[in-house]
Amino acid sequence: MADDKTVRSFLLQVARSPVDEIRRALAGSPELANAVGPHPFWGGRPQALHVAVENKRRDVFELLLEAGADPAGTNDRYDHWSPLMIAIHGGQDAMRDRLIPLGAPVGLPEALLLGDDARVEELLRPGRPALPQNVPNGGSLLNFARTPFAIDRLIELGVPLELPNRWGVTPVQSLSRLGPSAQAHVKQLIAHGAQATPDVYARLDDREALALLLNADPGLAASESLFMAAVESGHTALVEWLLTRGANVNSRADGQSRRTALHAAAWNGDLPMVRLLVESGADISARDEEHDSTPRQWAATAIRIRNDSRPQQAVDYLAGRGAGADE
């Protein structure tokens, strides 16, 4: 059995290396296809298939399946996220459609993410096993609901409406992060009694609701969580509006390494947001508290670990504004 150092090194290859290099590693150590070990970039103990799906590496994904990777995954040490869940959540439809016919189980979290009401109804009918005890990320199953039926049915069965997950995120906050497609679901949760914090309205780009809140409490404009939510959701006009009302352009996240708004925009590869923040006085040399890295370094890291070219524009723009590669 491979040790943690070996598995982590292989998982890093799965995320970054040419497929032929990964093929050679598997030829020498076939057990790596299903080995569980430390994530090369963040916490948890995934398998190679999890990492291939996360990094959108279809060629590596196919190689791993060919080498005997279990489509179901070993998920208890990766916060109960299966490869199929990651594929659905990340919009990797081709990988999703490969995993299901190969036998990847479609349990309740997967069915919820798929928006498959018929399967959800079958899984929740009387006489079926109780609701799963191990909810991915902890918290409430409502975090994964993607249809009005699923929301109503889960609430009817007593699934908690306000229970935060291990990251402190409630269902209404979680669904608000899905963008415009989930606005109706967020409002549905609110109608059921969920408490919407100002950051929820920022993610929904609901300036009317925010204006009412700010009129009642002008100091709310200085809320860092409110500003971060607007930045991370890509609402440039809303961010500009908040800045005119006293928002701090160098706001930081409450957790997750205390990154600044500019770190978040650079990580997302959101060049219009990066420009707005910098032109409004954001500190291009600010460092987060966990990785001690600048916004430019965050953008460069996003390119590598997400297999995503969009942050390159942020890298180039910040370099043009004087941000060094190793600041």
Could you tell me the CATH number of the domain that includes residue 234? 1.25.40.20
Residues 158 and 140 in one domain: yes
Residues 170 and 212 in one domain: no
Beta carbons of 154 and 185 less than 8 angstroms apart: no
- Can you tell me the mean pLDDT for 29-54? 97
pLDDT at position 133: 87
Please give the Cα distance from 237 to 205 (Å, whole number).
9
Residues 268 and 298 in one domain: yes
Residues 237 and 272 in one domain: yes
147 is written with which tokens?
Answer: 């249809």
Domain boundary among 144, 179, 195: 195
User: What is the span of the domain harbouring residue 164?
Assistant: 107-195
Residues 324 and 207 in one domain: yes
pLDDT range class, residue 326, cuts 50, 70, 90: low
pTM: 0.88
pLDDT at position 126: 86
- Can you tell me the mean pLDDT for 156-163? 95
pLDDT at position 308: 87
Residues 298 and 276 in one domain: yes
- Can you tell me the mean pLDDT for 84-101? 97
pLDDT range class, residue 155, cuts 50, 70, 90: very high
Please give the Cα distance from 223 to 231 (Å, whole number).
13
Domain boundary among 53, 85, 105: 105
Residues 189 and 158 in one domain: yes
Nearest 10 degrees: Cα torsion 152, 86, 197, 295: -170
What is the count of structural domains for the chain?
Answer: 3
**CA distances in angstroms from 243 to 20, 206, 262, 317, listed in the order given:** 49, 16, 14, 21
Beta carbons of 139 and 154 less than 8 angstroms apart: no
